[in-house]
């Protein structure tokens, strides 16, 4: 039991309690559809000091089930701010809490793992509150992508504009749209779509349930699999669609899309103890040996038959029914798999978020790698 002050909308909410270590980007975190089913604890002690603006939203609404902070700032001091985070939560009917010891809560989650929790402003009975938390459904096996995906296909044309990261030596004005990409929306963040446009893609976003035949009918140059909430084993229809599409088009997956590709290739996934949530996670690219600081948000990961305990000298190889798959990236925190690439097919994926928002731009090059893969297929 942690006691604090009411924040946001007055009411009650349940969800899996996780912690996020990002120091900024709370609005992008709240509007990331990957947080559907979860209550977010921010480890940074002061949240809301630069306010909220519609430009920073990563989807059409807040998806988190609840919000936990040490202190929500009463003052929004930024020229871009349009409202306080308290008012933003209230308008979206998001139940939150502040004033509790978020360090103690984070230690508890690290020691005991992510677990179902309840925030209540209306029921002061501890026994009833604990019982409600204990009876809340787990995210394991649940199809949460259905709740956050688009209802029908649409075109996306907006890039990141003045906020775009560098594309190397090539001037941004020289980038022309050449590649038609079908993007599966399992809970896609808007900045992913902007990054695809930045590198020259015409993007058609399709619902999570779109079949392989429907994708083929669109005749794309490449297929993108987005991030999303919950357990990848909860979306078997997406895994089956990928099995049918492997070998037909270049495929790039991020986060849940990475896990879906792993399952489609015949690998397994597992639930992490407390997940990876933050904008400061170190990952090593095993091909270049460079370390990238990454933005992450996932509770599941792709498994290997023999977990990697030490940093390998060569890229680990996994034999699958679709040929050999290389482990290309590893977490420096826990050695979990952060990237895969097929030897025999134009496929690669990463567990983290190269589009950032929030987070650093260390991994933005992966979107260019996707266009290079499509270009290679056309040679």
Q: How far apart are CA 66 and CA 368, in angstroms?
A: 36
List beta partners, residue 353: 295
Per DSSP, 172 falls in state: G
Helix axes 256-264, 236-245, angle to 10 degrees: 60
Q: Are residues 106 and 166 in the same domain?
A: no
Q: Are residues 123 and 173 in the same domain?
A: no
Residue with tokens 């099995």: 243
Report the half-sphere exposure of 132 (CA within 13 A, side-chain side). Answer: 17
Q: How many CB atoms lie within 10 A of CB 280?
A: 14
Exposed / middle / buried, residue 163 (Cβ in 10 Å: 0-12, 13-18, 19+): exposed
Residue with tokens 């990237």: 339
Q: Are residues 262 and 183 in the same domain?
A: yes
Q: Are residues 300 and 206 in the same domain?
A: yes
Q: Are residues 302 and 235 in the same domain?
A: yes
Q: Are residues 157 and 98 in the same domain?
A: no
Residue with tokens 């895969």: 340
Provide the phi-psi class of 219: left if phi over 0, else alpha when psi is between -120 and 50, else beta.
left
Q: How far apart are CA 330 and CA 88, in angstroms?
A: 37
- pLDDT by residue (tens digit) across 64-79? 999 999 999 999 999 9
Strand, coil or helix: 320? strand
Report residue 233 as tokens: 């084993």
Structure confidence at residue 171 (pLDDT): 40
- Whether 140 maps to a domain, the answer reads no
Give the number of domains in the chain: 2
Q: How many CB atoms lie within 10 A of CB 162?
A: 6
Mean pLDDT of the chain: 93
Q: Are residues 184 and 239 in the same domain?
A: yes
- pLDDT by residue (tens digit) across 204-214? 999 999 999 99
Cα 163 to chain centroid, rounded: 20
- Whether 308 maps to a domain, the answer reads yes
Cα 195 to chain centroid, rounded: 15
Report the half-sphere exposure of 25 (CA within 13 A, side-chain side). Answer: 21
Backbone angles phi, psi at 31, to 5 degrees: -95, 5
Asked whether residue 378 carries a pLDDT value surpassing 80, the answer given is no
Contact 121, 25 (CB under 8 A): no
Per this entry, what is the length of the chain?
379
Q: How much of the chain, in percent, has pLDDT values that exceed 70? A: 96
Per DSSP, 64 falls in state: B
Q: Are residues 124 and 184 in the same domain?
A: no
> CATH no. for residue 221?
3.40.50.880
Asked whether residue 53 carries a pLDDT value surpassing 50, the answer given is yes
Exposed / middle / buried, residue 373 (Cβ in 10 Å: 0-12, 13-18, 19+): buried
For β-strands 323-331 and 95-98, DSSP reports them as unpaired
- pLDDT by residue (tens digit) across 333-359? 999 999 999 999 999 999 999 999 999
172-179 long-range Cβ contacts below 8 angstroms, 24+ apart: 172/198, 175/199, 175/200, 176/200, 177/201, 177/202, 178/371, 179/221, 179/222, 179/371, 179/374, 179/375
Structure confidence at residue 178 (pLDDT): 87
- Which residues are identified as catalytic? 255, 353, 355
Contact 252, 220 (CB under 8 A): no
> CATH no. for residue 89?
3.50.30.20
Asked whether residue 40 carries a pLDDT value surpassing 80, the answer given is yes
Nearest in space to 148 (alpha carbons), one of 235, 90, 270: 235
Per DSSP, 244 falls in state: H
Band (174; pLDDT cuts 50, 70, 90): low
Q: Are residues 198 and 235 in the same domain?
A: yes
Q: Are residues 259 and 235 in the same domain?
A: yes
Domain interval for residue 99? 5-135
Domain end position, chosen among 88, 111, 135: 135
Q: How much of the chain, in percent, has pLDDT values that exceed 90? A: 90
Q: Are residues 49 and 101 in the same domain?
A: yes
- Whether 355 maps to a domain, the answer reads yes
Domain end position, chosen among 81, 109, 135: 135
List beta partners, residue 292: 283
- Whether 218 maps to a domain, the answer reads yes
Contact 39, 66 (CB under 8 A): yes
Band (169; pLDDT cuts 50, 70, 90): very low
Domain end position, chosen among 70, 100, 135: 135
- pLDDT by residue (tens digit) across 291-307? 999 999 999 999 987 87
């Amino acid at each position: 039991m942690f006691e604090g002050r009411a924040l946001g909308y007055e009411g009650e909410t349940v969800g899996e309690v996780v912690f996020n270590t990002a120091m900024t980007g709370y609005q992008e975190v709240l509007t990331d559809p990957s947080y559907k089913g979860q209550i977010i604890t921010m480890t940074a002690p002061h949240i809301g000091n630069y306010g909220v603006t519609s430009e920073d939203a990563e989807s059409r609404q807040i998806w988190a089930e609840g919000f936990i902070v040490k202190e929500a700032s009463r003052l929004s001091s930024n020229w871009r701010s349009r409202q306080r985070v308290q008012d933003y939560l209230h308008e979206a009917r998001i139940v939150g809490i502040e004033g509790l010891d978020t360090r103690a809560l984070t230690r508890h989650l690290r020691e005991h793992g992510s677990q179902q929790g309840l925030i209540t402003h209306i029921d002061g009975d501890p026994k009833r509150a604990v019982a409600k938390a204990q009876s809340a459904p787990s995210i394991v096996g649940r199809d949460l992508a259905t709740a956050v995906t688009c209802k029908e296909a649409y075109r996306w044309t907006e890039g990141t504009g003045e906020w775009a990261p560098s594309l190397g030596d090539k001037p941004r004005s020289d980038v022309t749209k050449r590649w038609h990409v079908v993007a599966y929306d399992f809970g896609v963040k808007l900045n992913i779509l902007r990054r695809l446009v930045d590198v020259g893609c015409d993007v058609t976003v399709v619902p999570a349930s779109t079949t392989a035949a429907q994708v083929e009918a669109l005749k794309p140059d490449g297929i993108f699999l987005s991030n999303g909430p919950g357990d990848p084993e909860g979306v078997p229809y997406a895994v089956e669609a990928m099995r049918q599409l492997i070998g037909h088009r270049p495929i790039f997956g991020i986060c849940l899309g990475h896990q879906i590709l792993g399952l489609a290739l015949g690998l397994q996934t597992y639930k992490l103890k407390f997940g990876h949530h933050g904008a400061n996670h170190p990952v090593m690219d095993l091909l270049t040996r460079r370390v990238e600081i990454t933005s992450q948000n996932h509770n599941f990961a792709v498994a290997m038959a023999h977990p990697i305990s030490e940093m390998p000298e060569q890229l680990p190889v996994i034999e699958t029914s679709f040929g050999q798959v290389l482990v290309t990236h590893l977490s420096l925190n826990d050695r979990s798999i952060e990237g895969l690439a097929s030897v025999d097919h134009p496929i690669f994926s990463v567990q983290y978020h190269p589009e950032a928002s929030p987070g650093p731009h260390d991994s933005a090059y992966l979107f260019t790698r996707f266009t290079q893969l499509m270009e290679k297929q056309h040679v």
